[in-house]
Amino acid sequence: MTTPPSDSPSRIDLPALEAWCRTLHQHLLARRQRACLWISGDDPSGAAQAICERWPAPEPVPLWLGTGEAFSTAGATPVRALAMAKAATQLGGEQSLVIFDAAQPATGFDPDAFGAVAGTLKAGGLLVLMTPAAWAAADPAPVPDGDHARLAHWPFERQQLTARYLARLARRLSSHASVLHWPQGGHLPAPSLDGGDQAARSDAIADSDCLTQDQAASVAALEALAPARPVVISADRGRGKSGALGIAAARCLAAGQDVWLTAPRPAAVSAIFERLAALLPRGQREGNVFRLPAGQADDDTASGSELRFLAPDAIEAARHACRDEVLPRLFVDEAAAIPTPLLKGYLAHFPRIAFATTVHGYEGTGRGFQLRFRHHLERQCPGWQALEMTTPVRWAPGDPLEALTDDLLLLSAQPPELPEPCAKNAQQWLEGCDIVLLERDALARDEAALRQLFGLLVQAHYRTTPADLRQLLDTPGLTLMAIRQRDVTTGRDAWLGVVAAVEEGGFPTSLAHDIWCGKRRPRGHLLAQSLAAHAGHQDAAEARWWRVLRIAVHPALWRRGQGARLLKALEQQALAAGVTRLGTSFGAEADLVAFWLAQDFVPLRMGLKRDAASGEHAVMMGKAIGESGSGESALRGQLVQDALLGALQQDFQRLLPSLLTHELHGLPPVLADRLRQQGSETDLATLTPAACAQRLDWYRRGGGGLALVRPWLETVLESRKPSRLDEASRHGLVLALGGQDAPAFISWAEGQGVVGRKARDRWCRAAAGRLIEQSE
């Protein structure tokens, strides 16, 4: 069964292709498996369109992931076109045929999108991966694609980046025997027909609604939820986790018990609503609520029962509005992707609660979630239960596409298992470890090291996505250092810790000025740009920094000084590169802030809004580094670096009390105390007229926001010095200090003809400018 592919479907042997599709589909269905067809060429879209026409499973219609431009195939077969960035909307759904267009220069290979849609294919499904021809050849190697654009921070262009990540993907694709490769100018691959039929299930399932014993056990635990005994269910994708939640919810509703359900997005729980509809045909869905009418429940309750989906940040308000003495049971799906502070709040208030999370998947990392959340559970609810679902439901064990996706994206990457000597005498064992500077070209070819190092990062961070691996390998200006323990007997390395830092700043004066006053925002340089644009120091954009992106240590070696050891090594490496400042940005937690304070970092800036991913305010911290030396030039350099960090720290301490009163009023007291540790609150009387004028001049030019100049603005308003600002406008500014979106200021502004948030912001900036101008 062979036919030469072509850019045009009209030149393909279509009868042969149709027979090939039918044979492959029947083969996959018989084994309850899925497959990946890799089409490499200059323009493989014609062949992919021909497959869309002939794939024997037309429902749902084929999904074409790429630019998102809608089209129909030559035979008018409908195709759902979706942009790569929208791939996450398919989570919770099922597909029979997915075309993943990584061949177009504008899109490229999006790791997160690939991870999202690969798990939606059901048994018998086919994923068609289209790539440039270079992926299939040793020379030329892959070049940076469209997805590299998000890594190309100033001054780099996408074409200047390396393509280590793509080269690794190409090597891994070529090494998998299960991948069906159809190179341009070659022949259709023959499907492997070995392996036998894996469709039969060996064990009888006691629960007729469940497909596996794992699922039945989870349903039973969810039904039997007891106060203060939360259940945590972990599963890889395709194990029936959502189905278990749906079955348990249906039985609770049938028993007259209400259920609340939350997840990162409504689409993630579509399978739960589908299960409810199948098991409770007399129920009715209205938006995000599924109701079982009165008299339909098992106990014939008069009021009926309902399952209500609520967004993660809406649970608290709903809880306060709930008039029942006993709250409903709460099911939390994809818990690893929900901010930890919210999860802790649910646990504190809901007597009957269950968490379900994906272990290796797109929605965050379940292993990292369990590692961090386990300690909190054990303190608050010692009787909590852990369940793991391992048997696939959507496909058979050993599915080739699942193995391929896991390998390409390193979804199951784990830190190494430590030998027995480490457990007995960890400190002595660690003395034999060294810290090495990693060369990324070599790392991209060392699968064992890459898996261990990425596994460390997965467990250390509450959400690690497939795209993080591309960042690790291809981000320009990135430095990687790691703790290595070498077994002298086997010669094998165990990687126990890793730190990644990226160079930032170094902007020319003119561009730094535009960043400072809010006119420009080049790609990347989070720390340097934020300290200039939101902390008001242009020098922060001109200075060179190394920002610590990630730092991770093997869980067995926590609190043994290894994180500090990595940072000390990084400092020496930065100094060798002529960089004298380190910085970091992370979701502020008291323990994390304490760690960085212990490494002599000081707080420089605090985000005013909670991060959507972490649920915490981002904090930026920095440290001046230098080596002892003599000479006037060395002393002058040290004074300059201290002056910048000192000014940033002083401004932060001056601003913090105001923020804690307003924008950060909900910050935990212990965290607020940690942030205040580095110095007493600066007396506002020390604000000189020149300092106030400089700060307000930055604000009127477009820098920062009103909250970030509040102490300086209050000082000038209280001074009552002559200005071009009339008394009515002074009163308006005083109202604005209480909040630009506060009803009092909105009402006043509308009375002045200033309508809309942007208009109010422009008015405040102009008024502050007039305030620092002396009257004629």
Concatenate the DSSP letters of all residues of 560-595 into one string.
Answer: SSHHHHHHHHHHHHHHHTT--EEEEEEE--HHHHHH
Q: Which of 96-110, 127-141, 360-374, 697-711 has the lowest mean pLDDT?
A: 360-374
Q: In this predicted model, what pLDDT tens digit does every residue of 146-192 receive, in sequence order?
A: 999 999 999 999 999 999 999 999 999 999 999 999 998 778 998 76
Mean pLDDT value across residues 327-356:
90
Residue 310 predicted with pLDDT over 90: yes
Helix, strand, coil content of the chain in percent (nearest 5):
45, 20, 40
What would the pLDDT profile of 483-524 be if each residue is shown by its tens digit? 998 876 777 889 999 999 999 999 999 999 999 999 999 999
d(CA 109, CA 163): 11
- At 196 the pLDDT is 44
pLDDT confidence of residue 721: 79
* Closest listed residue to residue 648, CA positions, set 553, 494, 535: 535
Q: Residues 176-181: contacts with CB within 8 Å, 24+ apart? A: 176/400, 176/403, 176/404, 176/407, 178/35, 178/36, 178/400, 178/401, 178/403, 178/404, 179/36, 179/38, 179/404, 180/24, 180/35, 180/36, 180/37, 180/38, 181/38, 181/40, 181/136
What was the pLDDT predicted at 140?
65
Q: Token digits for 449?
A: 């090291």
Inter-residue contact 132 to 158 (CB < 8 Å): no
Pick from 18-32, 220-234, 288-302, 587-601: least confident: 288-302
| pLDDT per position as a tens digit, 609-665 | 987 666 789 999 999 998 543 344 343 444 345 789 999 999 999 999 999 999 999
Per-residue confidence (pLDDT) for residue 614, from 0 to 100: 65
Residues 650-691 pLDDT 10s = 999 999 999 999 999 989 999 999 998 655 455 555 788 899
Average pLDDT over residues 580-599: 93
Instruction: Please tell me whether the overall predicted TM-score, pTM, comes out greater than 0.95 for this model.
Output: no
Full DSSP string of 431-449 = TT-EEEEPPHHHHTT-HHH
Grade residue 264 by pLDDT with cuts at 50, 70 and 90: confident
Q: What's the CA gap between 367 and 460, in Å, rounded?
A: 10
Q: How many Cβ atoms are within 10 Å of 448's Cβ, its own excluded?
A: 12
Per-residue pLDDT tens over the stretch 68-118: 666 555 556 788 999 999 998 887 778 999 999 999 888 899 999 999 899
Convert the pLDDT of each residue in 417-437 to its tens digit. Answer: 887 666 566 677 777 789 999
Q: Alpha carbon of 602 to those of 32, 357, 541, 642, 654: distances in Å?
A: 56, 35, 18, 12, 14
**Residue 605 or residue 317, greater confidence:** 605
Centre a 10 Å sphere on the Cβ of residue 148 and count the other Cβ atoms it contains: 25
Number of H helices, E strands in the chain: 28, 23
Confidence band, pLDDT 50/70/90 cuts, at residue 465: confident
pLDDT at 60: 87
DSSP letter at 418 equals P
Tell me the three-class secondary structure of 467-514, residue by residue.
HHHHHHHHCCCEEEEEEEEECCCCCCEEEEEEEEEEEEECCCHHHHHH
Distance CA 484, CA 449 (A): 10
User: What is the tens place of the pLDDT at every residue in 525-548?
Assistant: 999 999 999 999 999 999 999 999
Distance CA 527, CA 149 (A): 19
**Cα 283 to Cα 254, 272, 296, 467, distances in angstroms:** 10, 14, 8, 41
